[in-house]
Amino acid sequence: MTERTLVQKLASTPDGPVRVAGWVETVRDQKKVQFIVLRDETGAVQLVHPRTDVGENPVDDPIAAQISALTHGTFLSVEGELKADERVKLGGLEVKIGSVDVAGVAFPEPPIADDSSIDKRLDWRFLDLRRPEQNLIARVQTTFEHALRTWWIDNDFIEIHTPKLMASASESRAELFEVGYFETKAYLAQSPQFFKQMAQPAGFGKVFEIAPAFRADPSFTSRHATEFISVDSEFSWIDSHDDVMKVHEQLLIAGLTAVKEKHGEAITAAFGVEFEVPTAPFPRIPLAEVRRIVAEGGYEIPRADGDLDPEAERRISEWVKANHGSDFVFVTDYDSSIRPFYHQRHEGDGSITKSYDLIYNGAEISTGAQREHRVDVLIEQAKEKGLDPEELEFYLDFFRHGVPPHGGFGMGLARVIMLLLGLPSIREVIYLFRGPNRLEP
């Protein structure tokens, strides 16, 4: 059998014998000629078959019968003759069919259409993923992740794989999924926070991980999921959270540069988005100043703790874009009352932490901070948060045997991709979405 040629390779393939394989996107079954638009994982190509079963002296035409019976979505392999033809709108070439081998027949009536609701499309996600836009989303994510890993490795970071089954909470017990674990119980990890910090007294220094995380958060917003991919990094010997921000912005610049170079034109064509690669440094604005800016803009943050809500994030992002020309902004120096116990606080002002949120195109994508590495201070801050230090013994032990000053961040992968492509929901960019009312497919 002739070796299969991917559609994207056809433009550089000389005219002549070729084999393509994929699924049927459309069939035009005309009286004298038949056309198939065949799509594979790299693109679409037009296939043509001049019929011989018509006219004054019709000849038996089994290929015509095969084509007439094809249903949308059927997978098939076609051998034929490739020919460049500028008249063909789809890529300027076509394949004249020599033989058709049907591999997998699809039902005649697809269960979803282009205008189906997002929930209906998620019910049939394997069909929804056939859309070219979904293929591009997956490729953008692949390029982005590869660029992040490349930057980390080029800068001497170590990749770690932390467990997702935990004996105790890493952050808020209220957002934990509890699971049976033999004769006891375990919790699904909300983040790799404790474990990536463990790498610091272990002497690993700079580490990173891209892996699942779980939050039992009953939110139905466009940017929440109960299972998501968290992009995490942690590193030693920092002087402040500004060192963490410097690493974070350089990492993002590397990722977005790779996406722009490889997919920029395709993103514009598919989503109408022309994004710019940011330059460092990203604007940095203390939370207290952000509150003042959005208040002067006529918006009062409704949250009792003073944390930014989605509308405040959108407004400060608009202000930064107008005044600094940046799609990114670090909101820094969060109140200790709204930060975890392990965030280090400012010397001389324990009400403010050395932490930040990173906002991109109007939505928060990441939280980072310098961590508190003094065990006595950690214990007191945990008590302030109502936590029992005895339940944190395995974590506190890290700091009883020597640990350097360190910090890091966690970033939601799906949010970055959603905001990069200008899409309305992370449901569009997660391969198989999990939310409060979705565990299938």
Binding-site annotation, residues: 171, 215, 364, 367, 371, 412-415
pLDDT, position 174: 66
Other beta carbons within 10 Å of 272? 9
Q: Is 389 helix (H, G, I), strand (E, B) or coil?
A: helix
pLDDT in tens, 328-342: 999 999 999 999 999
Asked if pLDDT for residue 57 goes beyond 90, the answer is no
Q: In sequence order, what DSSP letters do the residues of 73-117 get, joined into one string? A: T-EEEEEEEEEE-TT-TTTTEEEEEEEEEEEEPPPSS-S--TT--
Integer Cα distance of 339 and 193 in angstroms: 14
Asked if pLDDT for residue 181 goes beyond 60, the answer is yes
Class for domain 7-104, per CATH? Answer: mainly beta
**% of residues, the chain, pLDDT over 70:** 98
Q: Contact 23/73 with Cβ under 8 angstroms? A: yes
pLDDT, position 124: 97
Asked if pLDDT for residue 70 goes beyond 80, the answer is yes
Q: Contact 267/237 with Cβ under 8 angstroms? A: no
Binding-site annotation, residues for ATP: 364, 412-415
Integer Cα distance of 33 and 25 in angstroms: 17
Taking the alpha carbons at both ends of the chain, their separation in whole angstroms is 35
Asked if pLDDT for residue 399 goes beyond 90, the answer is yes
Sheet of strand 165-166, all strands in order from the earlier edge strand to the far edge: 165-166, 184-188, 178-181
Angle between helices 413-421 and 241-271 (to 10 degrees): 50
Q: Contact 394/201 with Cβ under 8 angstroms? A: no
Q: Contact 37/48 with Cβ under 8 angstroms? A: no
Q: Contact 228/189 with Cβ under 8 angstroms? A: no
Residue 58: band (very low, low, confident or very high) from pLDDT cuts 50, 70, 90: confident
Asked if pLDDT for residue 56 goes beyond 80, the answer is no
Asked if pLDDT for residue 394 goes beyond 70, the answer is yes
Q: What is the mean pLDDT of residues 263-289?
A: 96
CATH number for domain 125-428, candidates 3.40.50.720, 3.40.50.2300, 3.90.550.10, 3.30.930.10: 3.30.930.10
Integer Cα distance of 10 and 22 in angstroms: 14
Asked if pLDDT for residue 172 goes beyond 60, the answer is no
Binding-site annotation, residues for L-aspartate: 171, 215, 367, 371
Domain boundaries, the chain: 7-104, 125-428
Cα angle vertex 236, ends 233, 239, to 5°? 110
Encode burial over 377-390: b for 16+ CB neighbours within 10 A, e otherwise: bbbebbeeeebeee
pLDDT in tens, 97-137: 999 999 999 999 999 998 999 999 999 999 999 999 999 99
**DSSP strand pairing (33-40 vs 43-50):** antiparallel
pLDDT, position 173: 65
